[in-house]
Structure 1
């Protein structure tokens, strides 16, 4: 004898008992498999049912070998047996083994739980579990607060809810059902599924998103979340190198250190956080760009030609990167003291003094261990006396000269003391004038490599009266005063042609790249010069264009 459903049954549930006689069942199975000519068992069975050894009452429904108890009650609990008789013969089966039908008075009520039990995050999944005792033989029905009808039927007691938005949260219920007709349990207590917007991970990178080979890089994944913070982290790299394309790294800590980056580490980095069964939103991508080497560059503002007392700022920058650097400064290859390190890459001299004259370079560093850039380009800075005791006299007296022309430079000391020599700084190095007699330097045939700064230097190393000399291979030069112009004086400019060595009549003059006078009669005059007239000047004719010359204006000294 078999009973459906499995004991215990619940008040109001329909219970079915089936009596199978073993020899009859085996015969039916055998003949169905062998396709025997016989269609039916030659004898008809009649079944008897007993409860506690007493034949069952009329309230039970008997149909062939099945006994049905509709709307079962607690009083139906007991020990049931059955046996069969062959009609027309005194033949009976053995009595079945006894089956005890257990009854429970109240409808069962399932318990609804969720995993995770706390707040659910959007973009994740919540698993609802409807717990029943007994746990087998049930179908499960799921309901949500927004509608009062069956939303889902499952054969297992688990239901996965995809949390796409906050609206997927709210009250959920479940109940179970079994049998035919279906017997339903009570509804579970309502379960609130609380949903909050999933926090978004944020990737930061130190020292910068643009780094250089062999630097140390730290990537950090931050998730701003008010709940527990026991996150594990997952990093994804969309790399430019095949080795790292769409690769995934399982890193359990917030920070990921790359001790010596190379080009293969270039790419887009994203991270997500995971705690238990929930994930954060993926971060926006941070692009790490690994460059070959770091190069510092120095520039000067407003310009490198100064009179003592003026102010000037040297600016050190790292090409392609601006974050996290500290800077060291050097003058004539001597390291300036730590107090001279420019904050943010700026090094200001105010007021500038004669001893500040020199060639400046800089270098930057960042990180721990420190990573150093290459040294910058050289930047000369020249500070002249208001009233120099020693003058550098240039002949011919102009700042621009044609190549192949001759040039003479002499140091003239008002105190008639000897020992001054002409020195120069070119794009190659600092050196003495190649052909020097006493305090005079003569260059028989100029070349463009002679372009540079020339000054007078004493035996003790004092530098006086620096002048900028430019040598041009072209056919046109700008003729202007080699010395600064005194404020209030007249500035005269004209254009000179190589072949005629005489002023050109039709000329355009430019200051700082802008046309200031066109088609003159070969000359331009500014009668009352002021500080606003400082700048880079050049001239342009139909025969060519001159180089640029810086013309400085010095405040008059009484």
Structure 2
């Protein structure tokens, strides 16, 4: 019997692939690697690669990195990264490697910067900076001033030429190089300081010609074939107190013997002389004369730069010829407490950055004078009240006497029939309408204080107004005062030049910032009772005419005398007051005629 056996056969396919070839590349592909750069090694495989295989990186035969990515990044490169690198892929028990490649890591070359000429530079000179990089060529040079890049100074030129024409070109300069075929820079150079010295009018400049002894030196300006501007036996030539016209190119040469044998001309030196900034001294307010208790501010204005760029020196010449110097800000306030503030003032500025001085300012004359002080400090007073006056000179009125002009004429000193002296104070113990008038102080040498007008009223209402001038911009308060109390129980009307301007329930009115247009005659009315008029003078901040200080006299006395028909009495008073002749008579008469037309 025959038995049949069936056999099932299995079949499979085996594919044999070519071994992948590892190709190692470097980016950037430089033959020299500098410290600080970023390197990327890429391992590219030619042939079929199984997905679960990994990339293996070796340095000097030692595995340093294993990853599924085909690149290995070194950031930043330094000397420790120097060596041979290989790559391969691995999976299961298989591995392929690429032949090693050698990479070198070295420091970036350092730039150095030099300057010619050396030393301190003057306005008008030209300075050359040179950037040197010891290794390689084909650099593009970039310049920096005070750590800020100079956008117009990026080129292949190793020299940077600067004409020194302004202070803003001084500072710290450095350079660096950049390779054109790859974005890599050299190390920056050290900072190089360039200092400039401006030559200003009034400075002294010394030129030096270098040569051995035994020569005479010839100095030329502008052209070397011109006649020498100076000949010296020494090697130096000094220009003292230079002006702008002294600027130009200077050369020297030496000569000796007879006939004279000359050396060659020196290289030219350019001198540029700049005018000094001007200082201007002004007053605020612009009063050439101040009285005790007043103050003015002197302002030193430098016609260049900002206030913070300068320190300020002040000089004062006293009336006795002595001098004093002091430092202050651009503003110097003077408070008139005694006559010592009188004198000539001037100032200059000193630049904080380069220590250059401005010119001295114009001289300004300030005169201080005694002020007549009154208590209570107002123009109008009730009868049968006490009134005190003093020639105020910091408590010392020696050499000054109180004067007054009333209906009875000019009276000198504190006469016993109208007042009494206690120390330097003149007191009217019980005022009378006859005490109305103008009061001032006068010295034995013919100096005068300011003047105040006093009105003594036998009525029941007076106007409280300042006895002295009011400065434009200041606040002015007027009050209506009743004999027994302030008028606060009813409405009070205030008038200026006879016109109602305000109606107040507080008994007072205030002008927050007076103007010249506020000047005039003021009065008040309470319960149908009017006060006398008082003249308020507003002193303008600006040019001052001497007559302004006596406006109160001119207006009040002229008006008083015109109404009484006595214009010549006032003219006589003015002549006595100013110790002048026909000029005063003419001015006073013209003023009286103008007022007569207004008040008749």
TM range (shorter): 0.3 to 0.5
TM-score, normalised by the number of residues in structure 2? 0.33
Greater length-normalized contact order (CA 8 Å, ≥ 6 residues apart):
1
